[in-house]
Amino acid sequence: MDVVSTMVIAQRLEALAPQEPRIVVSGNYAIPWELVDVAAATIPVFRYFILNPQEGWPRREGIITETPFVGAGVRSDEDLKYLPMRLSLVPRLFASSRPPDVVMVQTSTPRNGKVSLGIETNILPAAIEEVRRRGGLVIALLNRQMPYTFGDAEIVVDDIDLAVEGERALPSPDDRPLDEASLVIGENVASLSNDGSTLQLGIGQLPDAALDRMHHRRHLGVWSEMVSDGIMKLDRAGAIDVNRVMTSTFLFGSAELYEWAHENPRLVMRRTEVANNPARIAEQPGMLSINTALQVDLYAQSNASFVRGRIYSGFGGQPDFVSGALHSRGGQAVLALRSWHDKTGSSNIVPLLHDPVCSFQHSAIVTEQGVAPIFGFSQQSQARSLIDHAAHPRARDELSRAAQVMHLLGSD
């Protein structure tokens, strides 16, 4: 690993310009902005491959962003190339249809011949392995404020070609106070947990609200694509089993969370192929997968990706964890959402989805109205459960009429 200036980085990238290279970049809150900006200013036409690009992501003619999970930085990008696929399969793309020429990562500073990917492991180990096999470049931003995490996050310095040094506080999602509906939904979801459950949480207020209501639990485990402040608080409350390693692939939270994660021997970061592998998920005892959706229809199909017909996020790990949790001994796959959308004055439980489906066949759908169990139910009983226990009272009559037309309210 050679520590160089951004000018040297620019020169090396400029030499790749005729190839119209593909650059894989750390996503979420680990974006190496200094490196991203150098590439955007240097290469006329190229492709970025990233998960969940944040606000400020460079957009101009000649920059094409590819992603299986859309973030705020590209939601209105007309040139966006959204890749609809479950996250566990994304690393396969690097050895097939989307080979990387460059990988840009943000890491910790070196120690004992290694650096750590810190808060974002995800698809990066697979990208680094493939770009090295292809003879491409691995470039790192060495950030003194990046926490050092263990497991697949650790990269030997010999796997990095060029690095620049920097020091910048890592960003965090906005802190949004929980409203009354969130608190009730969190309580309803938490009622499905048990001592010894293994937890997986998606992004959002509702999974965090559920964690806040589990502090009385004991011997909980964590096998989750993401770890947030809610897991840190559970750990401090004594709810997490100290003899079970917490598994994650990225961190999404506050500066306090990043400090908690730094050199934490009980937190192990795993690459996407491991953390999101449904077979590995199924091995976890009492797997409780908690995800969110924008809409659910009477067939219990969920839309978690599209808003007004446009891509908003993506499959993410939801289908991986729904499948894995349902194969776990005592496992459950729970979908949480508000029953009513106040801004549009419409129900989030709908007769039939018009947007692409992200997942289905959950154990239960949970709203502030209650818990609608659906696993093993007939179509008729499933629809009735959703209407009676998850839908808003203002929507129930209309949903019942629709269910009648759809032949979903006959005898079981």
Domain contains 51: yes
**Of 140, 166, 192, which marks where a domain is finished?**
166
- Kindly state whether residues 239 and 361 are assigned to the same domain: yes
- Kindly state whether residues 149 and 270 are assigned to the same domain: no
Domain contains 82: yes
Q: What is the mean pLDDT of residues 157-178?
A: 94
- Kindly state whether residues 151 and 209 are assigned to the same domain: no
Six-digit token string for 136:
């491409």
- Kindly state whether residues 160 and 249 are assigned to the same domain: no
Domain contains 175: no
Q: What is the mean pLDDT of residues 178-185?
A: 94
Structural domain harbouring 151: 2-166
Helix, strand or coil, per DSSP, at residue 233: helix
As a whole number of angstroms, the distance between CA 207 and CA 215 comes to 14
Give the CATH number of the domain where residue 48 resides. 3.40.1080.10
- Kindly state whether residues 248 and 307 are assigned to the same domain: yes
Q: What is the mean pLDDT of residues 364-379?
A: 97
Give the CATH number of the domain where residue 325 resides. 3.40.1080.20
- Kindly state whether residues 70 and 109 are assigned to the same domain: yes
Give the amino acid at 59. R
| CA distances for 13 relative to 40, 64, 138, 234, 288, angstroms | 10, 16, 11, 44, 45
Helix (H) or strand (E) holding 402: helix 393-405
Query: pLDDT by residue (tens digit) across 13-72?
Result: 999 999 999 999 999 999 999 999 999 999 999 999 999 999 999 999 999 999 999 999
Domain contains 412: no
- Kindly state whether residues 356 and 283 are assigned to the same domain: yes
User: For the chain, what is the radius of gyration of the CA atoms?
Assistant: 22
159, with CB counted inside 10 A (0-12, 13-18, 19+), is middle
Helix, strand or coil, per DSSP, at residue 154: strand
Catalytic positions, written as ranges: 225
pLDDT at residue 204 in the model: 85
- Kindly state whether residues 103 and 212 are assigned to the same domain: no
- Kindly state whether residues 148 and 259 are assigned to the same domain: no
- Kindly state whether residues 240 and 272 are assigned to the same domain: yes
Place of tokens 């629809």: 383
As a whole number of angstroms, the distance between CA 358 and CA 317 comes to 10
Beta strands in 59-183 (DSSP E): 63-67, 81-82, 102-107, 114-116, 137-143, 150-151, 154-156, 162-166
pLDDT at residue 203 in the model: 85
The values of phi and psi at residue 287, to 5°, are -60, 125
At 411, the pLDDT band (50, 70, 90 cuts) reads: low
pLDDT for 364 beyond 70: yes
Six-digit token string for 374:
């659906």
| CA distances for 229 relative to 58, 207, 212, 213, 226, angstroms | 29, 11, 10, 13, 10
- Are 334 and 243 in contact by the 8 Å Cβ rule? The answer is no
Number of domains in the chain: 2
At 12, the pLDDT band (50, 70, 90 cuts) reads: very high
- Kindly state whether residues 142 and 193 are assigned to the same domain: no
Q: In what order do the strands lie in the sheet with 246-248?
A: 150-151, 267-269, 246-248
pLDDT at residue 412 in the model: 63
